[in-house]
Amino acid sequence: RKEVEQDPGPFNVPEGATVAFNCTYSNSASQSFFWYRQDCRKEPKLLMSVYSSGNEDGRFTAQLNRASQYISLLIRDSKLSDSATYLCGLKYDAGGTSYGKLTFGQGTILTVHP
């Protein structure tokens, strides 16, 4: 089983729709979680960190479910400009050889159409 798995999609949604992505992870020692957005042929940009209590930034909501070992990203009122690939990343904050290493999923492609 991969350390981090995402549904690659693509997710095709109309403007104004609500869409959610999940990202599952296999190592329960994972401590920090992130969502990045990557536009075509560009670098990933940090969208938001994911906190244990969940967090929201405008139309974006991130949740962490440690019991089921997944994180989620919810996008409300989708805009055309939300079209991108969304990467989840997790980091091990404990000691050992994986300390500080950020592992990414393969990304979920979102296309928002008019």
State whether residue 7 is helix, strand or coil.
Answer: coil
Site stretch for other proteins (CB under 8 A), options 12-20, 62-70, 71-79, 94-102: 94-102
90 binds other proteins (CB under 8 A): no
80 binds other proteins (CB under 8 A): no
90 class by beta-carbon count within 10 Å (0-12 exposed, 13-18 middle, 19+ buried): buried
Site stretch for other proteins (CB under 8 A), options 12-20, 57-65, 76-84, 93-101: 93-101
107 binds other proteins (CB under 8 A): yes
Distance CA 77, CA 98 (A): 38
10 binds other proteins (CB under 8 A): no
One character per residue 13-52, x = contact with other proteins (rule: CB under 8 A): -------------------x-x------xxxxxx--x---
Distance CA 110, CA 13 (A): 8
Q: Are 114 and 15 in contact (CB under 8 A)?
A: yes
Binding residue for other proteins, selected from 61, 63, 71, 105, defined by CB under 8 A: 105
The alpha carbon of 110 is separated from its chain's Cα centroid by a whole number of angstroms, namely: 12
